[in-house]
Amino acid sequence: MSAHTENSASNDSFNNDSINNDSINNNSASDSNPITVSFDNSYYRELPEFYHAQQAAYVPSPSLIKFNHELAQQLQIDLQGASEAQIAQAFSGNHLLAGAQPLAQAYAGHQFGHYNPQLGDGRALLLGETLDVSGQRYDIQLKGSGTTPFSRRGDGKAALGPVLREYLFSEAMFALNVPTTRALSAVLSGESVWREQAKPGAILTRVASSHIRVGTFQFFAYNDQPEKVKQLADYVIARHFPDATQSSSPYLTLLKRVCEQQAKLVSQWQLIGFVHGVMNTDNTAICGETIDYGPCAFMDRYDPATVFSSIDSEGRYAYGNQPSIAQWNLARFAETILTLISEDEQQAVELATQTLHDFMQQYHDLWLTGMLAKLGITNQQEGDRQLIEQLLTLLKDHKVDYTQLFRSLSSSLSDDQTVTQALFNDSQGWAHWRIKWQKRLEHNPMSVDARATLMNQHNPIYIPRNHIVEQVIAAAEQQQDFEPFEQLLKVLQQPFVQQSGCEEFAQPAPEEFGPFRTFCGT
Ligand code: AMP
Ligand code: MG
C-alpha cells in the first residue's frame, strides 16, 4: 500500500474536504510573478509513493513580514524585482512558482515514546528542491499552507507567534553554527486561525537539507514495506551520504553517518544550552539538522532537569536527557534498516548496537572538546572532565545563568574577575574553581588575548531569551508591530559580537517573568 492511497482514502478523521485547492490555485497560478527558482524535484520524481501531491490552500490577503534575501541569494532564487506583494503571493502558496511540485510527505513517528503510525505533513508542503551556489541540494517547504490528507483534525494552518519563533530560533541557531533548517520567509495570511482564541495566521517558508526524518523510515518499516525502506535508504545515501556507496556495507555506513551527524548536532545543543523540547522521531532529521522549532527554548539557569514544554510533564526531553534520547531515536532508525545491514539478524543487531555505542562516545568526545574551547583550552588532559563537572555543579547550586557565565569567563582571564564573581551568590566556590582553572591553563600556554578570542568565539553573548521572544511576539500579534522582531533578529545574527546599545538582549529574564512554559500550538 502506498502513502498516497492509504492516507488519502482510508481515514475519516482526515479533515481534507473543506478547500478545493486545485481549482483555486489553477486560477492564481496564471497571475504573473517574476520570481524564478530553479527547481529540481528529486523527491517528487524518484519517490512517487512516498507523498501525496497537494496544492496549498488559498489565503485571502497575504502580506510579507520578512524575507531572507541572503538565503535567497545562496539558493539562487532570482526575485527579478518582485514586489513585496508578489513575494507574499509566492511564499504563501497562492502563486505556484514555475517548476514547483507541491507535496505532503508521509511519515510516522514515536511521540513521547509511543508509536504513532499516522503523522505526515499535516500543515506543510514541500514546494520542491533547488541547488545552492555550491551545488548543495535544499528543500523549500511551506509551513502553515493548509490541510493535507495527513492533517487529521488539524486545520493545516500556522499562527503568527510560532512562525516568528521558528524564524528567530532557526536563524539564531544558524548564526551560532548549529546545524539547522533555515527560514526563507514569513508571510501573514490575512486570516485568523483558532488557537483557543483567534490569532493572526501566518506561513513560514523553511529550507532544509531535506525533510526526511527517522519517522519517514518508520512509516514504511512499520507498514511492512521493506522494498520502500530500501528505496528510501538508497535515496538518502545518494542525497546525503554518497560516500556510503563506496563502502563494502553501504547501509551500515548510512547508520554510522546518521549517528555522526546526530552526535555533532546534540553536542552543539548541549554546549549552547538549547532545549529542543519535542525530540520525537518525526522531529529527528536524517540529515542532522535541528528541525521543528515548536516548544524549544534556551536554558537560562543551568540545570540538567530544565524542561520548558508544557506537555513534557515527565521531563522526557529535559536538557540533560537530550543525548540519550538522541541515541534512543537512532535505535529506532537502526531498527528500520536492520535487514539491510545484514541478512543475518544477530549480526545486524550486533553491528547496529556497536554503532549506537560509538554514537555516545562520539557525542562525549565532541562535548568535551567543545566545553574545553569554551574554557579557552585546546588540548586535552586527564581530569578535564572533572574540572568541567565541578564548574557545572557550581552553576547548578548557585542557579547561575549558563550563557552569561560562560561569556563572562574571558574577562576573568585577567586579574579582574568582578563580572563572573557577581553571578554567584557566594563567591567562594567560584574562587576555588578559578584557581584550578588557572592552573590548568598553564598546561596550554597562549596569550591572554588569543585565549579570550577563542573563548568568545564559543561563548555567545546573545541567545533568543524567552522573555524577549515573548515580547516580540506580543508586539506583532497585538500591535502589528514587527520592529521588535527585526531588532531581535539583527542582534541574534551576530551572537558572538558585542553590539552597542543591546545590553538588555544579554540579560536573563527579570524575576517577575516567572518560570517559562512553551506550547506546541502552531
Ligand atoms: P509537530 O508538532 O510539528 O512535530 O507535528 C506533529 C504532527 O502533527 C505532524 O504530523 C504535523 O503535520 C501535525 N500537525 C501539527 N499541527 C497541525 C495543524 N495545525 N494542522 C494539521 N496538522 C498538524
Ligand atoms: Mg514535527
Q: How far is CA 67 from the centre of its chain?
A: 19
Nearest-atom index, ligand 1, CA of 124: 12
Nearest-atom index, ligand 1, CA of 120: 10
Tell me the whole-structure pTM to 2 decimals: 0.94
CA 22 to ligand 1 centroid distance, Å: 22
Q: Is residue 256 marked as binding?
A: no
- Predicted pLDDT of residue 522: 54
Catalytic residue among 40, 132, 234, 282: 282
CA 421 to ligand 2 centroid distance, Å: 41
In testing the pocket of ligand 1, which one of 169, 196, 311, 522 has its CB within 8 Å of the most ligand atoms? 522
Nearest-atom index, ligand 1, CA of 158: 19
* E strand residue ranges, 35-156: 51-53, 63-67, 103-105, 109-111, 114-116, 124-131, 137-143
Residues with CB under 6 A from ligand 1: 119-123, 150-151, 154-157, 282-283, 292, 294, 520, 522
Helix segments in 29-181, DSSP class H: 42-46, 69-74, 84-90, 160-175
- Predicted pLDDT of residue 415: 76
Q: Is residue 501 marked as binding?
A: no
- Predicted pLDDT of residue 515: 82
Q: Is residue 465 marked as binding?
A: no
Q: How far is CA 429 from the centre of its chain?
A: 36
Residue 159 and residue 180: Cα distance in Å, rounded?
21
- Predicted pLDDT of residue 30: 46
Nearest-atom index, ligand 1, CA of 292: 3
**For the segment 74-128, what is each residue's pLDDT rounded down to a tens digit?**
999 999 999 999 999 999 999 999 999 999 999 999 999 999 999 999 999 999 9
Nearest-atom index, ligand 1, CA of 156: 20
- For residue 166, give the ligand nearest its CA: 1
Residue 120 and residue 4: Cα distance in Å, rounded?
11
| Residue nearest atom 23 of ligand 1, based on CA coordinates | 122
Phi, psi of 135 (to 5 degrees): 90, 5
User: CA of 302: how far to CAs of 311, 318, 409, in Å?
Assistant: 21, 12, 15
List all residues 6 or more positions away from 266 whose beta carbon is below 8 Å from its beta carbon.
322, 323, 326, 363
| Residue nearest atom 3 of ligand 1, based on CA coordinates | 292
Q: Is residue 40 marked as binding?
A: no
Max Cα-Cα span within the chain: 72
In testing the pocket of ligand 1, which one of 110, 119, 290 has its CB within 8 Å of the most ligand atoms? 119
Q: Is residue 213 marked as binding?
A: yes
| Residue nearest atom 10 of ligand 1, based on CA coordinates | 119
Is 282 annotated in the active site? yes
Q: Is residue 273 marked as binding?
A: no
* Cβ-contact 167, 212 below 8 angstroms: no
CA 31 to ligand 2 centroid distance, Å: 32
CA 444 to ligand 2 centroid distance, Å: 44
Positions of the chain with pLDDT lower than 50, given as ranges: 1-30
